[in-house]
Amino acid sequence: MFDVLVFVYEHYWRGDVCPELQQLERKLSAHGFDADEIHAALSWLDGLNFAAQHASADPGPREPAGAPGSMRIYSVAEQDHLGAECLGFISFLEGAGVLPPAMREIVVDRAMAAPGDPVALDELKIIVMMVYWSFGHEPDALVLDELCEPATGRLAH
């Protein structure tokens, strides 16, 4: 599924320029992706589109997740499915000010819809990129570097 998502991200620069799911399915099939992998990715993308549209439509002033000083408490199911590494990465992005609460909730929702127990950090990074993509935003260069470059081989300063 994640190979398909990466392909979609690389070939359609924003979510709103991506073809309808039926047309996208034909294009993905023509590029040689497995039918099961395509179906899983399209189902996941449909959920992403739904979440992004509803987040955009809802101004959210009553939403407590956006309140200054608020804290997100993860359920046991979320903790188990995301794992410590992914939860730490989400916290890092929030602390850096690059993952607002509404986008964080979509990241968590889409990560919960992803296979794997726990979700791998590389897969979570793809999910974060796809959430940015669905809003038509490109992460700034430092965030993009963090999302695309493997952490192995880096020296801490």
pTM for this prediction = 0.84
The answer to whether the CB of 115 falls within 8 A of the CB of 57 is no
The answer to whether the CB of 133 falls within 8 A of the CB of 110 is no
User: Residues with Cβ < 8 Å from 101, sequence gap 6 or more?
Assistant: 63, 65, 66, 70, 72, 94
Q: What is the pLDDT along the chain (157 residues), one digit of tens a residue?
A: 999 999 999 898 777 778 898 999 999 999 999 999 999 999 999 999 999 888 865 544 444 455 666 789 999 999 999 999 999 999 999 998 899 999 999 999 999 999 988 999 999 999 999 999 998 888 777 777 777 766 555 444 4
Which amino acid is located at 148 in the chain? C
Please state, in angstroms and as integers, the Cα–Cα distance from residue 81 to each residue in 10, 26, 76, 147, following that order: 27, 31, 9, 20
Give the dihedral sign, CA 45/18/102/51: negative
Angle at 131 between CA 152 and CA 126, to 5 degrees: 25
